[in-house]
């Protein structure tokens, strides 16, 4: 075959291939009419498990990769010193309670003294009227009665003081019990342990982190769209996610966040060319029930495409029909993300 003929065939084949690619692109554009697409990365919200109080780590109860539920104990801090303080506070509370009993007994004594003083005053007054007693005796008995009244009031005030001391002691006991309970560091949400940050025996300051969790209830893909798309997308708009690691599956999602301000260009621009460069950060979230079903396969960092419906009457093309793997054969592939 002559060289010219070969070259002509190659040109024809190249033209046919280019035409096919162009036709495919036109078909794809037609199928995506009413939709917008952008690439992004799966992000999972991270939650820190931290100690509220300074102290020594007694034990870590989880390993990296473990699934935990909200309220599960992740780690425990040493509470030996706090337990001793609590025992002391409880003893103080019992002593304060006994103080109430003693103060009430004192009231009984003071009431008896007052009654006796009243009787003696009455007797002295009667004798004086019969000229069998003196005014000085009456005055002395009246003074004794007044002293007894004051002593009774003091005893009653002593009961209130004892009750206040008891309340203060009970509050200290309750506070220490709360602090001890807070030394059990619990998971604030369902999730997977991402990192163990300390080992048993280490001393932490208040606020020191012992582990981080991936919140499997908040998994989304972050994408950026220009003004022309962001302006037509609202919270709750339908979306689809296709991961590069598993392109055969289509994951249903919804728009959960649209940034209030554009990024990458000045906030105020004058020309249409500059306005077209504005992009908005958008989160496309996966439904919580779906995440629970496939939680063993959720990975941060997986890349892929997010497709957003920007026209309400647009119908999803066939290649974006929802398609999910069986739960036991999920999309657990190496996407370079955290486990």
Same fold, 34-46+215-329 and 50-78+184-204: no
Task: Kindly report the CATH class assigned to 50-78+184-204.
Answer: mainly beta
pLDDT one-digit tens code per residue, 287-320: 888 887 777 777 788 889 999 988 888 888 888 8
> What is the C-alpha separation between 316 and 252, in angstroms, rounded?
11
The residue-averaged pLDDT of 73-79 equals 95
80 pLDDT more than 80: yes
Give the residues across from 254 on adjacent strands.
Answer: 238, 285
The pair of three-digit structure tokens given for residue 278, joined into one six-digit string: 């504005």
Which range is least confidently modeled, 55-59, 209-213, 270-274, 332-336? 332-336
pLDDT one-digit tens code per residue, 92-151: 888 888 888 787 777 788 788 778 878 887 887 887 777 777 878 777 878 888 887 887
The residue-averaged pLDDT of 67-85 equals 94
Sequence ranges of the domains in the chain = 34-46+215-329, 50-78+184-204, 80-182
> What is the C-alpha separation between 132 and 150, in angstroms, rounded?
29
22 pLDDT more than 60: no
Q: Which residue has the higher pLDDT, 160 or 25?
A: 160
Query: In this prediction, what percent of the chain has a pLDDT beyond 70?
Result: 83
CA separation, residue 150 to residues 85, 110, 153, 155 (Å): 39, 9, 5, 9
> For the whole model, what pTM was predicted?
0.62
pLDDT one-digit tens code per residue, 173-216: 999 999 999 999 999 988 889 999 999 999 999 999 999 998 88
Q: Which residue has the higher pLDDT, 321 or 155?
A: 321
Q: How confident is the model at residue 232 (pLDDT cuts 50, 70, 90)?
A: confident
Buried b (16+ CB within 10 A) or exposed e, 54-82: ebebeebebeeebbbeeeeebbbbbbeeb
Q: 34-46+215-329 has which fold?
A: Elongation Factor Tu (Ef-tu); domain 3 (2.40.30)
DSSP state of 198: -
Buried b (16+ CB within 10 A) or exposed e, 105-117: ebbeebeebbeeb
Q: Which residue has the higher pLDDT, 232 or 127?
A: 232
- CA 175, chain centre distance (Å): 22
The pair of three-digit structure tokens given for residue 121, joined into one six-digit string: 């005053």
Taking CB atoms within 8 Å and a gap of at least 24, the contacts of 327-333 are 327/293, 327/294, 330/294, 330/296, 330/297, 331/243, 331/245, 331/246, 331/249, 331/294, 331/297, 332/296, 332/297, 332/299, 333/245, 333/246
Would you say 43 and 287 are in contact if contact means Cβ atoms under 8 Å apart? no
The pair of three-digit structure tokens given for residue 161, joined into one six-digit string: 């003081």
Which range is least confidently modeled, 18-22, 111-115, 262-266? 18-22
pLDDT one-digit tens code per residue, 33-50: 888 998 888 888 889 999
Consecutive H or E run containing 103: helix 80-129
Q: Which residue has the higher pLDDT, 172 or 337?
A: 172
């Amino acid at each position: 075959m002559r060289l010219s003929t070969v070259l002509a065939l190659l040109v024809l084949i190249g033209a046919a291939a280019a035409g096919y690619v162009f036709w495919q692109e036109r078909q794809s554009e037609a199928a995506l009419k009413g939709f917008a697409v952008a690439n992004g990365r799966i992000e999972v919200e991270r939650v820190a498990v931290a100690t509220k109080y300074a102290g020594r780590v007694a034990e870590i109860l989880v390993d990296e990769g473990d699934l935990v539920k909200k309220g599960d104990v992740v780690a425990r801090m040493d509470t030996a010193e706090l337990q001793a303080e609590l025992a002391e506070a409880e003893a103080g509370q019992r002593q304060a309670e006994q103080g109430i009993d003693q103060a009430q007994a004192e009231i009984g004594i003071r009431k008896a003294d007052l009654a006796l003083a009243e009787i003696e005053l009455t007797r002295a007054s009667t004798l004086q009227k019969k000229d069998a007693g003196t005014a000085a005796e009456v005055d002395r008995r009246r003074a004794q009665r007044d002293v007894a009244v004051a002593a009774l009031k003091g005893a009653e005030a002593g009961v209130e003081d004892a009750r206040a001391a008891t309340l203060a002691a009970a509050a200290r006991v309750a506070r220490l019990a709360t602090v001890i309970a807070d030394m059990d560091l619990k998971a604030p949400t369902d999730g997977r342990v991402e990192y163990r940050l300390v080992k048993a025996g280490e001393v932490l300051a208040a606020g020191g982190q012992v582990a981080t969790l991936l919140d499997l209830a908040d998994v989304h893909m972050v994408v950026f769209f220009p003004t022309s798309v962001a302006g037509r997308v609202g919270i709750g708009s339908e979306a689809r996610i296709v991961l590069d690691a598993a392109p055969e599956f289509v994951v249903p999602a919804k728009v959960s966040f649209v940034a209030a301000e554009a990024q990458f260009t000045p906030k105020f621009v004058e020309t249409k060319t500059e306005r077209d460069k504005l992009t908005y950060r958008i989160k496309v979230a996966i439904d919580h029930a779906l995440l629970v079903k496939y939680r063993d396969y959720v990975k941060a960092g997986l890349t892929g495409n997010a497709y957003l419906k920007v026209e309400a009457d647009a119908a999803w093309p066939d290649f974006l029909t929802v398609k999910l793997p069986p739960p036991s054969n999920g999309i657990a592939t190496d996407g370079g993300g955290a486990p």
